[in-house]
């Protein structure tokens, strides 16, 4: 019987950046010349913000259609290849099963999803009050729905939309 994954949000950890850097090095070795950029995204990339302790990496590649060629290599370092996983034009990998440790989101250069992720992250990095508000909500939702990831995700959707909107306006003014 499969155990349900617990939704856990923890205070910011100084171990998250080194964990990202270590994984970045490994992924650069695997993808080689296909890989153009690696970014630390998601809540673990915002210093001081509470988060699920899962490192999110965004990879920018030359051609998304070639990424499936590396599925076996990714499996060899503990990742599960999930294909697009609901987002057209993406390849997604997760590591750690129910004790998830890393998510890798791969997009082809020029994809609008890249800028959307980076602007969201950068906005939270320079607006710590908004990051704390978002982190506090995630902590409350994880306590309220410890074994219901769908309700946890649904509970974040309004604040994510507001932050995305504000981040887009902010990025246009920079």
User: Are 34 and 66 contacting, i.e. CB atoms less than 8 angstroms apart?
Assistant: yes
User: Domain spans of the chain?
Assistant: 16-173
* Mean pLDDT over the full length of the chain: 96
Average pLDDT over residues 57-70: 98
pLDDT of 98 higher than 90: no
- Out of 3.30.360.10, 3.40.50.970, 3.30.460.10, 3.50.50.60, the CATH code matching 16-173 is 3.30.460.10
Q: Which residue has the higher pLDDT, 1 or 125?
A: 125
d(CA 121, CA 168): 11
Q: Where are the alpha helices (DSSP H) in 9-83?
A: 16-31, 71-76
Local confidence band at 43 (pLDDT 50, 70, 90 cut-offs): very high
pLDDT of 2 higher than 70: no
Picking from 155, 161, 165, 170, the residue whose alpha carbon sits closest to that of residue 125 is 170
pLDDT of 24 higher than 60: yes
**3-class state of residue 48 by DSSP:** coil
Average pLDDT over residues 53-60: 98
Which secondary structure element, helix H or strand E, spans residue 57, and what is its range? strand 55-61
Structure confidence at residue 1 (pLDDT): 46
* Tokens representing residue 39 in the block: 């970014």
In the numeric block, the tokens 């607006």 are attached to 127
d(CA 92, CA 104): 6
Structure confidence at residue 15 (pLDDT): 98
d(CA 101, CA 50): 15
User: Are 71 and 81 contacting, i.e. CB atoms less than 8 angstroms apart?
Assistant: yes
**3-class state of residue 94 by DSSP:** strand
């Amino acid at each position: 019987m499969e155990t349900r994954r617990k939704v856990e949000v923890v205070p910011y950890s100084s171990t998250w950046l080194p964990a990202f850097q270590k994984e970045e090095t490994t992924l650069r070795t695997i993808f080689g010349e296909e890989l153009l950029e690696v970014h630390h995204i998601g809540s673990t990339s915002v210093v001081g913000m509470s988060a699920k302790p899962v490192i999110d990496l965004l990879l920018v590649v030359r051609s998304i259609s070639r990424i499936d060629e590396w599925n076996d290599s990714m499996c060899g370092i503990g990742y599960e290849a999930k294909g697009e996983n609901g987002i057209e034009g993406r390849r997604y990998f997760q590591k750690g099963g129910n004790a998830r440790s890393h998510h890798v989101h791969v997009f082809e250069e020029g994809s609008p999803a890249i800028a959307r992720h980076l602007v969201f992250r950068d906005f939270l990095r320079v607006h710590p009050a908004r990051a704390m508000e978002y982190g506090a909500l995630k902590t409350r939702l994880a306590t309220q729905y410890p074994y219901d990831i769908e309700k946890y995700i649904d509970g974040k959707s309004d604040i994510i939309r507001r932050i995305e909107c504000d981040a887009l306006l902010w990025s246009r003014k920079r």
